[in-house]
Amino acid sequence: MGLDPIYVDIGLFAIFIAVLAGPFVWKRIEENLEAFLFIMGVLAATLAWKWTYELVRSAIEEPLVRGIVPAVLVAGLVFHYGKERIQRGMLGLVKKVPLKAMVFIIVVALGLVSSVITAMIAALLLVELVYVLPLDRKRRVEIVIISCFSIGLGAVLTPMGEPLSTIAIAALKGDPYYAGFFFLAVHLGVYVLPGVVLFGLIAAVLVGDERPRYLERALLIKSHEQEEHERLQRDKAGFDQKVNRPPRMVVVRTEAAAEKAVADGIAHEAKLRRLAVHSVLVPDSFQDHVVVETSDPAGLKALIKDMPKVKGIVEGASRWPEIKRFLASEKDQDGAGEPEPEKLRDVFVRGLKVYVFVMALIFLGGGMSVLIERYFARIPGEGLYWVNMVSAVLDNATLTAAEISYKLNIDQIRSALMGLLIAGGMLIPGNIPNIIAAHKLKIKSTEWARLGIPLGLGVMLAYFVWLYFVPFP
C-alpha cells in the first residue's frame, strides 16, 4: 500500500531537484556523490513503492552484466601496468603532431571507436591520453568534457557501445523495425558523425596554444612517482641530496612573448642535466615570466645563465601579489585536473565507486519511472526532445527503456535518442564516461557544469533545428 499519487509525484520531483542541485550547493555532497546518489535512489524507489526483486537484482547485476565495472577494472589494470609505455608512445606523437591536430584526433577517434571498444574503455583511454598533453588544468578539463560528449554520442552506433543502444535495439527488434546490429548506425549515423567531428573542432579551438607545465609528469613520464623518487635516492651522482631539499618557486624573467620558448628550454635542459626541477609553469595572467618549482635554485641559475631570451631570476618575486595569487590558484587546483600516480588498490576502489554509482542510478531510475510513465508518454516528439535533458541526471538507459517502443515512428525514435545522447554530457551523472573521467581526474560538478551545460544546450538547439526544420536527410 503506497502513498497518494500526488504526494508521490511531489516527493519524486523534490528528489529530482535535490539530485540536480545538491552537488552545486553543498560541497560535502559533491565530495561524496556516490553515497548521496545511492541515498536518493533508495528514497525514490521507496517513495514510489518500486522495491521488487527485479529492481534489486538489476541494481546488483547490471553494473557487472553491462560490462561497466569489469571494463573499468580490466582497463584500469592494463593502464596501471602499461601506463609508462602508453604515455611514452603518446609523448612521441605530441612532439611530431601539432597540439590542435592531436586534440582533434583524440576527440574524434575516441568518439568513433567507442561504439566498438565500449564507451567505458574509451573514457579510460581518454584520461591516459589527455594526461600527457602539454596543457594546463583548465584546458585539460575542457578537453575531457568535450571528449565525453563525443564518446557518449558515438557509442550509440552499435549495441556494443553503451547500454542505451543495447536497450533501444532490444525494444525495436520486432515488427515493424526488426532492428539489427547496425540499425542505429543507419538511422542515426548521419546525425552522429557530424556531431563527433563538431566536438573535435570545438576542442581544437578551445585548446589554444601549448603552455608547458608539470615537467615531471609531462616530460619525464614515470608510471609511479614513488618508484622514481626511490630510484633517484639510490643514484650515486649526488642528485638524491638535492631532491630532499624543500622545493622553491623561482621566477624567471624572459624577453617579450618568449615565455613558451624559455619554458621549453628549461624543461629540456633540466631533463638532460637531471636537475631537481619539479614543474615549469607559464602564468596566463603574468606575461614575460616563467615560474619554476625547483629544489636546486643554484643549479637552475647556472642552467639559464647562457640561455637565449632569458633576462635572469627575479629575486623576491615569489612575494609579489600577482605571483602569490597565481601560486595560490595552482595550489587550490593541484591534482584536480591531473590523475595522481595510483596504487593497485586505487584501481579496485575506483571500480567499487563506479559500481555504487551505477547501482544508485538504477535505483533512482526505478523510482523515477513512475513520473516517466505518468507524464513523459504523453509528450509529443518535439517536447520529448527537450524534456530528455533530464538524462543529464538520470540514467539514460532507464529513460530509453521507458520511452522507446515499436509504437513510435522513426522520427520520434530519432528525436528521443538524440535528446538523451546530447543531454547526457551536460553533468557528471549523465553517462558512464562522464563518471569515469570525473572520478579519475577529480573534476568537480561545478566545473563540469560550467562548460557542459552551455555546450550541451547549444548543441541541442542546433540539432533541434536540424531535426525539425532542415529537410535533410
- What 95-102 contacts at long range (C-beta under 8 Å, 24+ apart), as own/partner pairs, is 99/133, 99/134, 99/135, 99/207, 99/209, 99/210, 100/204, 100/205, 100/207, 101/204, 102/133
Half-sphere CA count of 286, side-chain side, radius 13 A: 20
CB atoms within 10 A of CB 64: 12
In angstroms, the CA 188 to CA 410 distance is 10
Amino acid at 15: I
The pLDDT tens digits of the residues spanning 99-113 come to: 899 999 999 999 999
Give tens-digit pLDDT for 275-298.
877 778 777 666 788 888 887 888
Q: Which residue has the higher pLDDT, 438 or 167?
A: 438
Look at residue 240 in the predicted model and tell me its pLDDT: 44
User: Taking 60 as the threshold, does the pLDDT of residue 69 lie above it?
Assistant: yes
CATH homologous superfamily of 215-333 equals NusG, N-terminal domain (3.30.70.940)
Mean pLDDT of 48-77: 81
Tell whether the model's pLDDT for residue 377 goes beyond 70: no
**pLDDT tens-digit profile of 138-155?**
888 999 999 999 999 999
- Mean pLDDT along residues 69-98: 76
Range of lowest pLDDT (146-155, 161-170, 174-183, 337-346): 337-346
pLDDT over 90 for what percent of the chain? 19
- The stretch 60-84 carries a mean pLDDT of 76
Residue 321 has pLDDT above 80, yes or no: no
Whether residue 245 is predicted with pLDDT greater than 60 in this model: the reply is no
- Name the residue with higher pLDDT: 24 or 390: 390
Alpha-carbon distance of 20 to 262, in angstroms, equals 45
- Average pLDDT of span 66-77: 75
- Confidence (pLDDT) at 67: 67
Furthest CA-CA distance within the chain: 83
3-state secondary structure 370-407: HHHHHHHHHCCHHHHHHHHHHHHCCCHHHHHHHHCCCC
The cell 516517466 sits on which residue? 372
Instruction: Please determine, for residue 134, whether its predicted confidence score (pLDDT) is greater than 80.
Output: no
Higher-confidence residue of 98 and 276: namely: 98
Residue 228's pLDDT is 44
Structure confidence at residue 431 as a pLDDT band (50, 70, 90): confident
Torsion, Cα of 312, 315, 321, 326 (10° steps): 50
Which sign, positive or negative, has the C-alpha torsion 65, 68, 71, 74? negative
Burial 305-334 (b: 16+ CB within 10 A, else e): eeeeebeebeeebeeeeebeebbeebeebe
The CA-based dihedral angle spanning residues 345, 333, 29, 153, taken in that order and rounded to the nearest 10 degrees: -80
Averaged pLDDT, 59-83: 76
Q: Does the pLDDT of residue 66 top 80, yes or no?
A: no
Query: Can you tell me which residue has the cell 515512428?
Result: 409
First to last CA, the chain: 50
Top-confidence residue, 340 or 452: 452
Give the whole-angstrom CA distance, residue 366 versus residue 399: 10
Residue 363: alpha-carbon gap to chain centroid = 24
3-state secondary structure labels for all residues of the chain: CCCCHHHHHHHHHHHHHHHHHHHHHCHHHHHCHHHHHHHHHHHHHHHCCCCCHHHHHHHHHHHHHCCHHHHHHHHHHHHHHHHHHHHHHHHHHHHHCCHHHHHHHHHHHHHHHHHHHCHHHHHHHHHHHHHHCCCCHHHHHHHHHHHHHHHHHHHHHCCCCCHHHHHHHHHCCCCCCCCCCCHHHHHHHHHHHHHHHHHHHHHHHHHCCCCCCCHHHHHHCCCCHHHHHHHHHHCCCCHHHHHCCCCEEEEEEECCCCHHHHHHHHHHHHHHHCCCEEEEECCCCCCCEEEEEECCHHHHHHHHCCCCCEEEECCCHHHCHHHHHHHHHHHHHCCCCCCCCCCHHHHHHHHHHHHHHHHHHHHHHHHHHHHHHHHHHHCCHHHHHHHHHHHHCCCHHHHHHHHCCCCCCHHHHHHHHHHHHHHCCCCHHHCHHHHHHHHHHCCCHHHHHHHHHHHHHHHHHHHHHHHHHCCCC
Average of per-residue pLDDT values in the chain: 79
The domain spans of the chain are 1-212+338-473, 215-333
Q: Is the pLDDT of residue 40 over 60?
A: yes
Rg of the chain in Å (alpha carbons) = 25
What are the CB-based long-range contacts (under 8 Å, 24+) for 92-100? Answer: 94/132, 94/133, 94/134, 99/133, 99/134, 99/135, 99/207, 99/209, 99/210, 100/204, 100/205, 100/207
Q: What are the tens digits of pLDDT across the range 188-224?
A: 999 999 999 999 999 999 886 554 433 333 333 333 3
C-alpha 176/C-alpha 192 separation (Å) is 24
